Amino acid sequence: MNIIETAIPGPLIIEPRVFGDERGFFMESWNAAGFRAADLDLDFVQDNHSRSSRGVLRGLHFQNPEPQGKLVRVVNGAVFDVAVDLRRSSPHFGKWVGVELSAANKRMFWVPEGFAHGFLTLEDGTDFLYKCTGRYAPEHEQSLAWDDPDVGIEWPLAGIVPQLSAKDQVGTSLADIKAFA
């Protein structure tokens, strides 16, 4: 696999080896030994799958305490996926990185603990899969405002009015969240 570092240390773009022919393709989306060899010794405890129509914006979510690292990918459709650094001790606190993930490009995105995560679906019927290093703990879940001007995410919204959950409509500002140390 090919690992691409992002502008912020921690999140990584992962391009798996894909073997294809006229019948289709094969790829390993997770192999503990392969990831460990790439210095990603991860212990996943939960797998999740969401389906969304075009224009759904989910996030920016995180848990503190009981944070989750997430290995995310798209198996149908496309998203613009974002990680925001919420580690107050980081020189990149409040900065974001984004990447397009799609069924076509087969890229994965590693979002480590200490980051908020969210995505905007770019196609109808988008299936989004993610492996988590921690259990879902709704009592610790927080939502960073997707449109916080202090973060300044450049969502690709041309022609899209984002559809948000009630929780995400009232996300907390960067200045008011319970960030990580």
Q: Is residue 105 part of a domain?
A: yes
What's the pLDDT band for 100 if we cut at 50, 70, 90? very high
In the numeric block, which tokens belong to residue 72? 């995310």
For residue 180, give the nearest of 70, 62, 83 by alpha carbon: 62
pLDDT confidence band for 154 (50 / 70 / 90): very high
What CATH number does the domain containing 78 carry? 2.60.120.10
Domain-embedded: residue 143: yes
Q: What is the pLDDT of residues 42-71, one digit of tens each?
A: 999 999 999 999 999 999 999 999 999 999
Q: What are the structure tokens assigned to 166, written together?
A: 């009630």
* CA end-to-end span of the chain: 32
Strand 70-76 versus strand 108-111 pairing type: antiparallel
Q: Mean pLDDT throughout 21-45?
A: 94
Query: Please, what is the average pLDDT of the chain?
Result: 97
**Distance between CA atoms of residues 102 and 79, nearest Å:** 6
pLDDT of 165: 97
Residue 181 within any structural domain of the chain: no
d(CA 141, CA 154): 24
Residue 149: pLDDT band (50, 70, 90) is very high
Which residues form the catalytic set?
61, 130
What is the number of domains present in the chain? Answer: 1
Please give the residue range of the domain that contains residue 130.
Answer: 2-176
Q: Which helix (H) or strand (E) holds 32?
A: helix 32-37
User: CB under 8 Å to 95, separation ≥6 — which residues?
Assistant: 7, 8, 84, 85, 151
Q: Is residue 129 part of a domain?
A: yes
Residue 88 lies in a domain: yes
Q: What are phi and psi of 146, to 5 degrees?
A: -65, -25
User: Domain for residue 170, yes or no?
Assistant: yes
Contact 116, 61 (CB under 8 A): yes
- Average pLDDT estimate for 97-111: 98
